[in-house]
Chains A and B, each alone.
Chain A
Amino acid sequence: MATVPLQHAKSDAEWRQPSRGVVAMASLITAESAIFTIFVTAYLYNLGRDVSGPTPKQVLEVPWFYSVCLLSSSGFIVLAEHAIEHARMGAFRLWWAVTILLGLIFLYGTGAEWHKLIVHDHLTISTNLFGTTYYSLVGLHASHVVVGLLMMLVVLAFALTRHVRPEHAYRIKVLALYWHFVDAVWVVVFTVVYLVGRS
Chain B
Amino acid sequence: MDAQGMPAARGIQAGIDRTPAQTASGTWLEHVHGWIITVDHKRLGIMYIVLGLVFLLVGGLEAMLIRIQLAVPHNTFVSPYTYNRLFTMHGTTMVFLVGMPLIFGFGNYLVPLMIGARDMAFPRLNAFSFWVAAFGGILLYYSFIGGNGLAGTGTAPDVAWFAYAPLTEKAFSPGHTVDYWAVSIFVSGIGSIGTAINILATVFCMRCKGMTLMRLPLLAWLYATVSFLVLVAVSPLTAAQAMLVIDRYLGGHFFDTQAGGSAILWAHFFWIFGHPEVYVLVLPAFAFANEIIPVFSRKAIFGYEAMVAASVGIGFISLGVWAHHMFTIGMTSFGNAFFTLSTMLVSIPTGIKTFNWLATIWGGKVRFETPMLFSIAFLFQWVLAGLTGIMLSVSAWNWQLHNSYFVVAHFHYVLVGAIVFMIFAAIYYWYPKMTGRMLDETLGKWHFWLMVLGFHMTFDVMHFPGLLGMPRQIYTYEPDRGWNTLNFIVSVGGFIQAIAILILVYNMVHSYFRGREAGPDPWDAWTLEWATPSPPPPYNFPVEPEVSSRRPLWDLKHPEDPDSAFE
Contact = CB atoms under 8 A, between A and B. Distances in A.
Contacts of B80: none
Main secondary structure, interface of A, reads: helix
Interface stretch (B22-30, B89-97, B250-258, B425-433): B250-258
B246 A4 contact: no
B253 to A, nearest CB: 5
A10 interface: yes
A28 interface: yes
B532 to A, nearest CB: 9
B243 A2 contact: no
Contacts of A32: 235
B204 interface: yes
B329 interface: no
A4 B15 CA distance: 6
A34 interface: yes
A19 B206 CA distance: 9
Chain A's interface size range is 35 or more
B305 interface: no
A8 B236 contact: no
A4 B13 contact: yes
B236 A5 contact: no
Interface in A2-54: 2-11, 15, 17-20, 23-24, 27-28, 30-32, 34-35, 37-39, 41-42, 45-46, 49-52
B262 A132 contact: no
Given A23-B204, A136-B246, A31 B193 contact: yes
A18 B204 contact: yes
Contacts of B88: none
Given A46-B261, A51-B259, A125-B250, A2 B17 contact: yes
Interface string A174-193: 00000000000000000000
A2 to B, nearest CB: 4
Nearest to B247: A132
Given A32-B235, A126-B250, A129-B253, A8 B546 contact: yes
Contact of B546 (A11, A30, A49, A52): A11
Contact of A2 (B1, B11, B251): B1
Contacts of B467: none
A50 B252 CA distance: 12
A11 B209 contact: yes
A7 B11 contact: yes
B525 to A, nearest CB: 15
Interface in A122-138: 125-126, 128-129, 132-133, 136
Interface string A51-65: 110000000000000
A177 to B, nearest CB: 13
A7 B12 contact: yes
B209 A46 contact: no
A167 to B, nearest CB: 19
A163 B202 CA distance: 29
A6 B231 contact: no
B57 interface: no
Interface of B: 1, 11-19, 121-122, 193, 196-198, 200-202, 204-207, 209-210, 227-228, 231-236, 238-240, 242-243, 246-247, 250-254, 259-262, 265, 269, 272, 531, 541-548, 552, 555-556, 564
30 contacts: A1-B17, A3-B18, A4-B543, A5-B544, A6-B548, A7-B11, A8-B546, A8-B548, A11-B209, A17-B205, A17-B206, A18-B204, A20-B205, A23-B200, A23-B204, A23-B205, A30-B231, A31-B193, A31-B231, A32-B235, A34-B232, A34-B233, A34-B236, A35-B239, A42-B265, A45-B265, A46-B261, A49-B261, A49-B262, A125-B246
Given A27-B197, A125-B246, A136-B246, 10 more contacts: A2-B18, A6-B548, A8-B11, A23-B205, A31-B197, A37-B236, A41-B265, A128-B253, A129-B253, A133-B254
